[in-house]
Structure 1
Amino acid sequence: MPTDEHREYIKKIVDAAPPLTPEQRARLRELLRPVAVQPQVNRERDPR
């Protein structure tokens, strides 16, 4: 879950970006969100 500080950081980056459509701004915000930690994969049962 992003903190308020991280949300503000993302907002500043998005606001400072060149002119973007609302869809591009939403995509940029999505890309800058912290990624959830993925669970470990059991390689013996699921060799990805």
Structure 2
Amino acid sequence: MQVKKVLTYSAIAFVAFYLFTRPGDAANTVRGAMDSVFNAANSLAQFVSHLS
């Protein structure tokens, strides 16, 4: 349980450090992740619409 807590806090610290030192790159990373989610949702919607 202790290892999970340390890894969680380390990940949060890394994200905060990355956000404050390279905000442009952090924004591009989030934008890319959101684009991937939207593309996956669009692909799923197309698949379901082709079933009927």
Smaller-chain TM-score bracket: 0.3 to 0.5
Q: Which has the higher helix share?
A: 2
TM-score normalised by the chain length of structure 2: 0.31
Whichever of the two has the greater Rg, that structure is 2
* Greater relative contact order (Cα < 8 A, sep 6+): 1
